[in-house]
């Protein structure tokens, strides 16, 4: 691969020997800082990314580029980067240097309020809906692939690793599945099919919405819903396949505080999270439920913990304040 990456559309040549590396990347590629607003992702071994590169080129060949409408929410490939021989080796995208990952919301930090988390997921709901409307499926929808930035008191977000998404747009002649998957967010039906030796079901929007619900639960409770508590010693994977999340009545959460943490978000939200995580409900998670819960969150007058104001009593131990 040439040391210089040419992006003909911008009529610029970037010398990667002198460019700042933002992220050395895993096994796939490195990200270089071009300026405050732009970065370039370069595959370590483009010859091993032929399918992905072919999909990128095919997507860019369309008169209607489906990426364009998603720039508000995602670091979409804006221009393909080529080496001196004309081979695509990466792509130019927005520079999100200094943004935080969504998984920072997992931290038990009192400065991260329930309202903030719900607001982030309200915006993420809007973004995910837009991705699906354009025919894209993320697949690898995990806490490190969503970036957050607070600007003038407003939360902005960007989805990254968009080159690994799948798309189903027969009208554009584009149809391919996601090329990456984090086991943390794998849908239970794929685990079950794999265990039974059956053909894995194709990725669909419901897989992303399941992952959305999983991440929302993890941020609200600061715990993995399939690892928190105990149900007859079953492991996380077995509980996931059986739909035994922390909200299940038979799961022993171990302490009164843990029960309070899972209850304080409110009965309605708790019920819906349980239904989506157990796959007894599928499809798009109800945005109105998230928005309504934002308005219901209060601080308990006695213990000052955040709780849903529609509860009769504060659920935290040694409080039981009437709300």
What is the residue extent of each domain of the chain?
4-94, 100-308
For 248, the token pair is 């299940």
| Locus of tokens 């659920």 | 315
Q: Are the C-beta atoms of 69 and 153 separated by less than 8 Å?
A: no
CB atoms within 10 A of CB 33: 15
| Locus of tokens 């508590």 | 229
Nearest to 305 by CA among 319, 291, 289, 322: 319
Q: What is the pLDDT along the chain (323 residues), one digit of tens a residue?
A: 333 444 443 334 454 555 566 665 566 788 888 888 888 888 888 888 889 999 998 988 887 788 888 999 999 998 888 877 778 888 889 999 889 999 999 988 888 999 999 999 999 999 999 999 999 999 999 999 999 997 767 889 999 999 999 999 999 999 999 987 788 899 999 999 999 999 999 999 999 999 999 999 999 999 999 999 999 999 999 999 999 999 999 999 999 999 999 999 999 999 999 999 999 988 899 999 999 999 999 999 999 999 999 999 999 999 999 99
Nearest to 35 by CA among 20, 23, 47: 20
Query: Across the beta sheet with 166-169, what order do the strands follow?
Result: 136-137, 166-169, 174-176
CATH architecture of the domain with range 100-308: Orthogonal Bundle (1.10)
**45 burial type by CB count under 10 A (0-12 exposed, 13-18 middle, 19+ buried):** exposed
pTM for the structure as a whole: 0.92
For 219, the enclosing helix (H) or strand (E) is: helix 205-221
Tabulate helix, strand, coil % of the chain (nearest 5).
35, 20, 45
- The whole-number pLDDT of residue 7 equals 41
Q: Are the C-beta atoms of 131 and 123 separated by less than 8 Å?
A: no
Per CATH, which fold does 4-94 belong to? Phosphorylase Kinase; domain 1 (3.30.200)
Q: Whole-angstrom Cα distance, residue 103 to residue 80?
A: 29
Nearest to 252 by CA among 228, 223, 219: 228
Nearest to 79 by CA among 112, 33, 116, 38: 38
| Locus of tokens 């364009």 | 68
CB atoms within 10 A of CB 79: 17
Nearest to 204 by CA among 286, 282, 122, 142: 282
- The whole-number pLDDT of residue 47 equals 84
């Amino acid at each position: 691969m040439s040391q210089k990456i040419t992006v003909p559309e911008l009529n610029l040549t970037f010398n990667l020997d002198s460019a700042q590396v933002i992220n050395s990347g895993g096994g796939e590629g490195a990200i270089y800082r071009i300026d405050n607003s732009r970065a370039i992702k370069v595959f370590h071994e483009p010859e091993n990314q032929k399918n992905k590169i072919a999909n990128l080129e095919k997507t860019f060949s369309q008169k209607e580029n489906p990426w364009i409408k998603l720039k508000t929410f995602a670091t979409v490939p804006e221009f393909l980067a080529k080496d001196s021989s004309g081979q695509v080796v990466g792509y130019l995208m927005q520079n999100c240097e200094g943004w935080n990952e969504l998984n920072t919301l997992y931290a038990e930090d009192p400065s991260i309020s329930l309202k903030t988390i719900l607001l982030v997921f309200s915006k993420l709901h809007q973004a995910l809906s837009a991705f699906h409307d354009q025919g894209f499926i993320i697949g690898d929808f995990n806490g490190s692939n969503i970036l957050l930035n607070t600007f003038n008191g407003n939360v902005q977000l960007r989805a990254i690793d968009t080159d690994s998404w799948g798309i189903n747009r027969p009208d554009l002649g584009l149809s391919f599945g996601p090329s990456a998957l984090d086991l943390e967010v794998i849908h239970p039906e794929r685990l079950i099919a794999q265990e039974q030796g059956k053909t894995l079901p194709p990725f669909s929007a419901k897989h992303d919405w399941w992952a959305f619900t999983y991440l929302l639960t993890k941020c609200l409770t600061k715990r993995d819903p399939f690892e928190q508590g105990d149900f007859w010693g079953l492991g996380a994977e077995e509980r996931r396949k059986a739909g035994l999340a922390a909200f299940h009545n038979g799961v022993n959460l171990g302490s009164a505080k843990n029960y309070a943490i899972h209850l304080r978000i409110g009965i309605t939200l708790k019920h819906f999270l349980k239904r989506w995580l157990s796959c007894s409900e599928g499809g798009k998670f109800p945005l109105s439920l998230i928005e309504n819960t934002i308005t219901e969150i209060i601080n308990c007058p006695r213990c000052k913990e955040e709780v849903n104001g529609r509860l009769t009593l504060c659920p935290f131990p040694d409080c039981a304040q009437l709300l």
